[in-house]
Structure 1
Amino acid sequence: MSKDVPLCASAPHHITAAFSPRWTEDRLTTGSVGVGLAVEPRLTICTGTSLGGPVTGTASKVLKLLGVEGVTVSASRALPWGMGYASSGASAVAAALLASALRGVSISRSLQAAHAVEVEDRTGLGDVLAISCGIGVVLRRRPGAPGLGEVDCVPAPPSVSVVTLETGFMSTQELLSSLGQSYYSASEDLVKALDRDFSFDRFASLVTQFTESLGLARWLLGEGADEVIRRTPGLIGYYVKKRLLVLLVERDEAYDAVKHLTSSYRFKARLLEPSREGPSLTLVA
């Protein structure tokens, strides 16, 4: 495809609920098993049109690795970085898709390059694999890059929205150093349970049990946090990623849920939607 043709690639974000890393000597087979939610708004990068700013960081490295040169690429940043939204992973997937179109290389090869950059930079272990599926609840059954790892998705019901409470920043490296074997063992048990019966309802139930059994909400927000969260209007389930509280709520009570959280805690709440579509390419009119 000509570099002069305006083109955009977009990808959903991803909020991991539980994971267990797998380290090997190969960046392509290094990764994690786990489960999370693909959410929108999406991250978008484009050629031939101006968005929020230039492509930097992970996306820039992916484009360079895949030989995209001599073309101006800009990016939108719909969600903050370092909060647990896998913005780096979303940018890597979008960059890989764009490079695939511009350079005429396979999407599998491009996504594997994106995964390798994430692993090398320690910005993510399984987000590229998860976002490559990118719809609703995402289950990473086998670790590794797309084409080597195994991933599955199940759409969230149309009646479900996602509310997050942003309590602070945390890098992936900080996250990895803060977690212990009890978290990883519980994550593996959760993945095995979902592998036997993978559905949205089972995810919502099991991830809440996982969160409460490990005391993750209390760690994040202090004693009594679980009781406050359980009083959220329309609550379906909840979990914690980094310093981010994630709630699944009934769509018709989402604004009441936001009001409840912000009246209980002085942090920014954000209303999101489960992703209904994986990564995509669009020609700009």
Structure 2
Amino acid sequence: MLLARAQIPLHLSGFWVPIINQDPLASGSLGAGLTLYPPALLSIYVHGQDMCNTMVNGKCFDFSNHLRSIERFLGVRGRGVGIKCYSRGELGEGLGLSAALSIAYAIGLLVKSGASISLNKAGTAAHYAEVVNMTGLGDVIAEIRGGGLVARVSPGPPGVGDIDSFPIRERVRVAVTSVGSLTTPKMLVEGLHKQFVEGFKAYENFIRNPSLESFLINAYTFSRRTGMLSSSLDEALKDKLKGLIGSGCV
């Protein structure tokens, strides 16, 4: 039985200032990112007990930690509730897909419980799950409230945190490729201090001149200074893209 359908944009964060508090709802990040379209298409439904409860692009994933976190927060049992998702992105690519899945699941549980659908309530539950599982600090509020170029100006979920959106006039396409694996929990634990210092520099620079060009420049600098973009990878990318860079396409 279908409970709900949702279309949720993905989110690519360029730089961030991690803010981690004992209270997950006071945790989050400052920073900026791009919301990406076409959106992820999600269906939340009631299924048999022996079926996979999280399907992404036809593949089954163990998303149980997030699902249980959302159930605890909302006080709703989710037994038999599953998600099917079609997306241009995959889990683990840094595109905020776990946030989109969490938002959709929270919406499904609200429908199942007979409660009114509140995006703030669903977003708060999803943000809680993202923070306690260390898989994201700002994707939820950007995906629910943002559009275009999104600045996270106060940490927290919708209704607690705050954002500002800057519509993009240019026609922009984002190309994504996987060159290695670094999980969000590992990234946050191992590079927390450097991300805080360099993220705050990037954030301050961007807020003084919020534009797509400023976002890209500060995201590049942040990636280099935090070690997420190595010298060898930087040179390899520049070599591959030099024709496009020269023509102004990148």
Residues 11-44 of structure 1 deviation map (CA, whole Å, 9 limit, x = unaligned): 1222221112112221100111121222234333
Question: For 2:11 and 2:128, how far apart are their aligned partners in 1?
Answer: 18
Aligned mate of 1:13, from 10, 20, 32: 10
Q: Does 1:111 align with 2:120?
A: no
Change (3 A) 1:140 1:82: same
Q: How many percent of aligned residue pairs carry the same amino acid?
A: 24
Give the deviation of 1:180 after TM superposition. 5.1
Question: For 1:117 and 1:26, how far apart are their aligned partners in 2?
Answer: 12
Which amino acid is 2:164 matched to?
D
Q: Does 1:25 align with 2:35?
A: no
Q: For structure 1, which runs of at least 5 residues remain unmatched after alignment?
A: 237-248, 251-256, 258-285
CA RMSD of aligned residues (A): 3.2
Q: For structure 2, which runs of at least 5 residues remain unmatched after alignment?
A: 48-54
Aligned mate of 1:228, from 227, 239, 249: 239
Q: Does 1:74 align with 2:83?
A: yes
Report the secondary structure of 1:24's partner residue.
Answer: coil
Q: Does 1:156 align with 2:168?
A: yes
Alignment of 1:202-241 (within 5 A): 202-212=214-224, 216-218=228-230, 221=233, 224-225=235-236, 227-228=238-239, 231=242, 233=244
Q: Does 1:36 align with 2:48?
A: no
Report the secondary structure of 1:80's partner residue.
Answer: coil
Aligned mate of 1:93, from 98, 103, 119: 103
Q: Does 1:201 align with 2:213?
A: yes
Report the secondary structure of 2:244's partner residue.
Answer: coil
Q: Contact conserved, 2:25 with 2:124, CA < 8 A, in 1?
A: yes
Q: Does 1:64 align with 2:71?
A: yes
Give the deviation of 1:196 after TM superposition. 2.8
Q: When the two structures are superposed, what TM-score results if normalisation uses the length of structure 2?
A: 0.77
Give the deviation of 1:235 after TM superposition. 7.9
Change (3 A) 1:62 1:180: closer
Question: For 1:216 and 1:70, how far apart are their aligned partners in 2?
Answer: 39
